[in-house]
Amino acid sequence: MIRHILLDLDDTLYEGSEHLSSVVDARMTEFVARLLEVPEDQALRMRRYYASRYGSTLTWLSEGCGLPAPLLDAFLEYVHPEDIRPFILRPEVDETWLAGLEAPFSIFTNAPLEHALRVLSAIDVSPGLFTRIFDVRACGYRGKPHASAYQHVLSSLGIPASASLLVDDREENVRALAGLGGYGVLLLRDGQEGPYPFPTIRSLRELPRILEELDGRLARL
């Protein structure tokens, strides 16, 4: 039985414009260029190289470069737009739909808490609906798909991985929880095609059906 649903934030609770990803990516490169005092084209190459090895630019800056928490916070503040509304094409959820989910749910995001709160305000959803908001700081600046991030979330909720389900728009994040014994649903966007080794949906509105099917399978085990 699924005892807790973990919901990704960006491009999951809302459909975002492709421009948002490009803005965040460009700001990360700008920050690295200024930090390391290198040209932006070199900073971009470094980011791509080390992010592939550390899992993210943030983890590289934290563990590879040894940046202290204040500089990591400065990075997070710089790369996330203060006004998220122009980048939101449409919300995927509303309060009525969320309240109808049979299992409790939390946000699990690689963004900082303040960004999550800005998103929820923009899509008119109260933070109080969620059991918890697990942001990247809560996970020690190691976000998805690092195993330690999932272990922190599961430990905080007091549940085993097998009682959790993650809905995310990134395959590697869903795969990571599945590797720990949990369940995942991949939210596909336009242009994405399967097959994948876990359930896929095109809209969060399909989630209750997936939960019903999964609980049915688990009940027969």
Average pLDDT, the chain: 93
Tell me, what's the pLDDT at 129?
Answer: 96
Task: Show Cβ contacts of residue 143 under 8 Å, excluding neighbours closer than 6 positions.
Answer: 55, 56, 58, 59, 109, 110, 136, 149
- Spatial separation of the C-alpha atoms in residues 8 and 11, rounded to whole Å: 8
pLDDT of residue 180: 96
pLDDT range class, residue 215, cuts 50, 70, 90: confident
The edge-to-edge listing of strands for the beta sheet with 183-187 is 133-134, 105-108, 4-7, 164-168, 183-187, 200-201
pLDDT reading at 158 higher than 80: yes
Query: What is d(CA 57, CA 29) in angstroms, rounded to the nearest whole number?
Result: 9
Q: How confident is the model at residue 156 (pLDDT cuts 50, 70, 90)?
A: very high
Please give the backbone phi and psi of residue 5, each rounded to the nearest 5 degrees, phi first.
-105, 130
State the pLDDT confidence band at 219, using cuts at 50, 70 and 90.
low
- Taking 90 as the threshold, does the pLDDT of residue 5 lie above it? yes
Residue, of 144 and 55, whose pLDDT is higher: 144
Which uninterrupted H or E stretch holds 165? strand 164-168
Read off the pLDDT of each residue in 2-14 and give the average, rounded to a whole number: 95
| DSSP state for residue 217 in the 8-state scheme | H
Q: How many residues does the chain have?
A: 221
Taking the model in full, what pTM does it have?
Answer: 0.92
| Residues whose CB falls within 8 Å of the CB of residue 219, separated by 6 or more in sequence, listed in order | 1
Mean pLDDT of 184-191: 86
Closest CA to 204 of 94, 52, 39, 67: 94
